[in-house]
Amino acid sequence: MPISELAICLRRSDYSETSLVVRMMTREHGQASLMAKGVKRPKSRFGGSIDLLSVGQAVYSLPRENSVSTMGLLMSWDQTEAYPCLRTDLLRHAVALTAAELLARLTEELDPHPASFDAMIRLLRELQGGEPPVRRLAEFGRALLTDIGLTPDFQTCAHCGQPTGPGEFPAARGLLFAGPRSGVLCPRCQPGPGESTVAISRNLQQFFIENTQITGRLALEFVRWLVYYVQHQIGRELNSAATLERAIAAALIAHARSAQPTDSHDNDK
């Protein structure tokens, strides 16, 4: 039975001269690997090729339960939204790719996460709408972690179990976040020998505990922490991490060159 729903293209790879295999994130069925037959033909019924990060109405069928194939069939694709900013702004481009990789790595095939899907669509629309990209990526990251149940405990020390809230220690004393333990270490506890940690500010802790709006410099700290945390969760590097850092560096250089800081990126610095 064909399914028709909104989908985001998270990955595409050549299958043959004319066909693609696409990894779609769908709202109601999660990720699905689909064969798009003949999509690269000039007069294909898909109306042009399916690009990465494009959003549209997909009509597809999933493999039968007893089928040996794990790939479904994309029957039609009608792109419903376009985000030209991803093609003209390096930072927005990198932010969208990072979000797509986070979504792809942290959710499973045919495991629906409508809230995460909606957060991704919201992020793409906000990027197109001129919102500060790093801040929007941070909001997306928090929504994604919350939806899939991966939000770490920021209130209790991962080593001694004592509370680590702002009332427990002077706010000036920062905390260490230990990736292998998926939690914070209080100022009394030290990481184990060679244990990977990253320093986090009290503001970042507050961002999680009080669900506050993220602002300015904190967004950048959050995004770097998010990449660190997710890499520990999935046990491998995020491919998009280097691209994101390069884009942030380029935006900072462009900002420094610019005499009039009117760019929307400024809000992220």
Partner 1 sequence: MSGYTQTMERLIAELGRLPGIGARSAERIAFHLLKAKTDDAMRLADAIRDLKTRTRHCSRCYNLTEADPCPICSDPARDARTICVVEQPKDLMNIESTGTFRGVYHVLMGHLAPLEGVEPADLTIDPLLRRVESEGVREVILGTNPTIEGDGTALLIASLLAGREGVQVTRLARGLPSGSQLEYANKSMLADAISGRQKMG
* Contact residues: partner 1, CB under 8 A: 11, 16-17, 47-49, 51-54, 79-82, 84, 86-90, 93-94, 97, 100-101, 104, 239-240, 242-243, 246, 250, 253-254, 257
- C-beta closer to partner 1: residue 35 or 209: 35
- SS3 state of residue 218: helix
Closest CA to 108 of 53, 35, 31, 25: 31
- C-beta closer to partner 1: residue 46 or 228: 46
* Min separation Cβ 47 and partner 1, Å: 5
| Nearest-angstrom CA–CA distance, 81 and 125 | 9
Measured on CA atoms in the order 177, 179, 180, 183, is the torsion positive or negative? positive
* Min separation Cβ 105 and partner 1, Å: 10
| Nearest-angstrom CA–CA distance, 64 and 68 | 9
Number of H helices, E strands in the chain: 6, 8
- C-beta closer to partner 1: residue 160 or 253: 253
* Min separation Cβ 209 and partner 1, Å: 32
φ, ψ of residue 118 to 5 degrees: the values are: -65, -40
Q: What angle do CA 174, 193, 145 make, to 5 degrees?
A: 50
| Nearest-angstrom CA–CA distance, 140 and 251 | 20
* Min separation Cβ 151 and partner 1, Å: 24
- C-beta closer to partner 1: residue 46 or 222: 46
| Nearest-angstrom CA–CA distance, 215 and 43 | 47
- C-beta closer to partner 1: residue 69 or 239: 239
* Min separation Cβ 75 and partner 1, Å: 17
